[in-house]
């Protein structure tokens, strides 16, 4: 049994806290929001996952000191925009070598850093790792079979995380490619916005398949330029997460996209979805990264046009379809 601090109690933090509790670990959950802590303490429920009953001996606290002191491992589950500020508050209580597993998905717009890079910068004493893959909280909390990948600097840390999370309904693989895992996990949200927009416009399965396939091409092109491994983009945190996010009724990114495709503005759509729509934060970063690394990302470009420059979604699709003619894979040149 391990002592685990879950830092952040949105739907993903709570679903993972429940999974870890079911694996017989001692779980303490921290939230920055006093109302959220009070709600969970009194009702033993979280409003985002209303069917899930939170056990009496799961501890909820507003104190990072309480959530972190004496914990074998910390799981950071706050939305990407709060990762840096939360890490800064965690610093006084983080001990040398403490494993900190990031499960959020995003890129910091102002620095273009991944979330584990932010954690490493703010918590230089920690052993920072990631857990990612096709995993909606709504399904994990219902015990539906799910798979993820744990990425860490050492095999020992990755296997430690794998052992803590593994369950008959939650299979965990290991990987040394933290960078590839994080790029895949954050950029799939931008493509899922596009997939939702296509659904909102009333387009079909052909369109969705095109966005998923050309989307993973864009993600892996940028990701490998940034040091991620191509195989990772063919795996759970790459194509796996892209498929689930573009197809699932649970996806916040896809749902926001549907509303935008139906004519709502980005602000109206995110307001209606209520929970965090990470693709909106990662879209500008993805575009900036594509320019920095000089890789072509036409879907990412058009998503930015629709989200931030008021371009009608149907026009964005037309522009994608009528781009210059090109070869499918530049790695497959002609013999003649």
Ligand X SMILES: O=P(O)(O)OC[C@H](O)CO
Q: What is d(CA 7, CA 13) in angstroms, rounded to the nearest whole number?
A: 7
- Minimum distance between the CB of residue 319 and ligand X, rounded to whole angstroms? 25
DSSP code string of 141-168: TTT--EEEEEE-SSHHHHHHHHHHH-BT
- Minimum distance between the CB of residue 302 and ligand X, rounded to whole angstroms? 19
Selected binder of ligand NAD within 4, 5, 6, 11 (CB under 6 A): 11
Q: Which residues bind ligand X (CB under 6 A)?
A: 105, 134-136, 189, 192, 241, 244-245, 250-253, 278
CB 238 within 8 A of CB 180: yes
Q: Which of 317, 301, 299, 298 is nearest to 309 (CA)?
A: 301
Q: Pick the closer one to ligand X by CB: 86 or 245.
A: 245
Residue 159 in tokens: 């296997």
Instruction: Please report, to the nearest 10 degrees, the dihedral formed by the alpha carbons of residues 101, 7, 248, 24 taken in order.
Output: 80
- Minimum distance between the CB of residue 89 and ligand NAD, rounded to whole angstroms? 9
Selected binder of ligand NAD within 18, 98, 114, 135 (CB under 6 A): 135
Selected binder of ligand NAD within 75, 152, 276, 306 (CB under 6 A): 276
- Cα 37–39–40 angle (5° rounding)? 65
Selected binder of ligand NAD within 18, 28, 48, 290 (CB under 6 A): 48
- Minimum distance between the CB of residue 330 and ligand NAD, rounded to whole angstroms? 31
Cα Rg of the chain (Å, integer): 20
**Among ligand NAD, ligand X, none, partner that 77 touches (CB below 5 to 8 angstroms by kind):** ligand NAD
Cβ neighbours of residue 130 closer than 8 Å, sequence gap 6 or more: 101, 102, 103, 115, 116, 150, 151, 152, 178, 181, 182, 185
Residue 118 in tokens: 């932010």
Binding string, residues 68-107; x marks residues near ligand NAD by CB under 6 A = ---------xxxx-x---x----------------xxxx-
156 is catalytic: no
**89, 156, 188, 284: the active-site residue:** 188
Q: Pick the closer one to ligand NAD by CB: 84 or 316.
A: 84
Q: Which stretch binds ligand NAD (CB under 6 A): 29-37, 155-163, 292-300, 316-324?
A: 29-37
Q: Pick the closer one to ligand X by CB: 67 or 190.
A: 190
Q: What is d(CA 164, CA 4) in angstroms, rounded to the nearest whole number?
A: 10
The DSSP call for residue 325 is P
Question: Known catalytic residues?
Answer: 188
Binding residues (CB under 6 A) for ligand NAD: these are 8-13, 31-33, 36, 48, 77-80, 82, 86, 103-106, 135-137, 275-276, 278
């Amino acid at each position: 049994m391990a002592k685990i601090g879950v830092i952040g109690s949105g739907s993903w933090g709570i679903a993972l806290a429940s999974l870890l509790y079911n694996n017989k670990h001692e779980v303490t959950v921290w939230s920055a929001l006093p109302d959220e802590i009070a709600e969970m303490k009194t009702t033993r429920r979280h409003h985002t996952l209303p069917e899930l009953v939170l056990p009496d001996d799961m501890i909820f606290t507003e104190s990072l000191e309480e959530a972190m002191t004496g914990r074998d491992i910390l799981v950071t589950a706050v939305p990407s925009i709060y990762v840096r500020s939360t890490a800064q508050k965690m610093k006084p209580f983080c001990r040398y070598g403490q494993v900190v597993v990031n499960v959020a998905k995003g890129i910091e717009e102002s620095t273009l850093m991944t979330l584990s890079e932010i954690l490493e910068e703010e918590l230089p004493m920690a052993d920072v790792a990631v857990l990612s893959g096709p995993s909606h909280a709504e399904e994990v909390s219902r015990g539906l079979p799910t798979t993820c990948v744990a990425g860490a600097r050492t095999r020992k840390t990755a296997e430690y995380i794998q052992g803590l999370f593994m369950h008959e309904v939650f299979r965990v693989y290991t990987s040394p490619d933290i960078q590839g895992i994080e790029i895949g996990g954050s950029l799939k949200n931008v493509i899922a916005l596009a997939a939702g927009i296509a659904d909102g416009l009333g387009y079909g399965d052909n369109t969705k398949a095109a966005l998923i396939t050309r989307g993973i091409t864009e993600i892996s092109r940028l990701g490998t330029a940034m040091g991620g491994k191509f195989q990772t983009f063919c795996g759970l945190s790459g194509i796996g997460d892209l498929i689930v996010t573009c197809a699932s009724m649970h996806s916040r990114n896809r749902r926001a996209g549907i509303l935008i495709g139906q004519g709502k503005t980005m602000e109206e759509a995110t307001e209606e979805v209520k929970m965090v729509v990470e693709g909106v934060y990662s879209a500008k970063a993805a575009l900036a990264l594509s320019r920095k690394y000089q890789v072509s990302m036409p879907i990412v470009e058009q998503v930015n046009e629709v989200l931030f420059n008021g371009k009608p979604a149907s026009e964005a699709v037309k522009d994608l379809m009528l781009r210059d003619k090109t070869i499918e894979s530049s790695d497959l040149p002609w013999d003649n």
